[in-house]
Chain A
């Protein structure tokens, strides 16, 4: 089955760190760029980060630049998001998503999404 299964997340204090994981199956993971998108409670979708198929090109939203790091391990079919210096405004449901193509930046769409994992930043 073609799917993305997410793990990680939870409740963390401001200033601390969390790591999200996204395990891919059912497709050739290293053929595609991957993305992280988040959704604050009751709000819309917000792009967080993207990584090309070979990790050569990476991008971040200004809101997380310098605090979050995206990475992938093609041998393990996995995508990661290391979240440091967490802030209350990082509280959101985080989705990983698969691009239609291999490149970042692309002009393309996200044709497969994970189930989402909740991150709550609060003291």
Chain B
């Protein structure tokens, strides 16, 4: 079965840039989506189809996807960006989530 690998945690200084990776075999050929989950809240989509930002998500959030790694980049990180981040793809008619990355600002 297809697997997505994320770092358990990422720390970033206030105002700096955070990068969260999502590794998977040939993930560059798939649509990758990213979700933010703040403590005690439901997930929220922050990037879809690799690099698209839904309305209401700050421009500070961006995504890229190539080869075996997709990356979520958060520029000018704020305390409000803290939480868990999950990547997601579809593979063989099933949905696959990465294990999640805890972002600390």
Contact = CB atoms under 8 A, between A and B. Distances in A.
B74 to A, nearest CB: 18
A19 to B, nearest CB: 20
A111 B54 contact: yes
A44 B100 contact: yes
| B: interface residue count bin | 20 to 34
Interface string A68-108: 00000000000000000000000000010100100011111
B47 to A, nearest CB: 8
- Interface of B (DSSP majority class): strand
B31 interface: yes
A21 interface: no
B88 A95 contact: no
B28 to A, nearest CB: 14
Contacts of B12: none
Contacts of A106: 90
Nearest to B96: A47
Contacts of B84: 44
Contacts, number: 64
Interface string A38-61: 000000111100100000000101
Contacts of A100: 48
Interface residues of A, number: 24
Contacts of B33: 108-110
Contacts of A37: 43, 95, 97
Nearest to A45: B97
A113 B42 contact: yes
Contacts of B31: 107-109
Contacts of B93: 59, 104-105
Interface of B: 30-31, 33, 35, 37, 42-45, 48-49, 54, 84, 86, 88-90, 93-100
Interface of A: 35, 37, 44-47, 50, 59, 61, 95, 97, 100, 104-111, 113-116
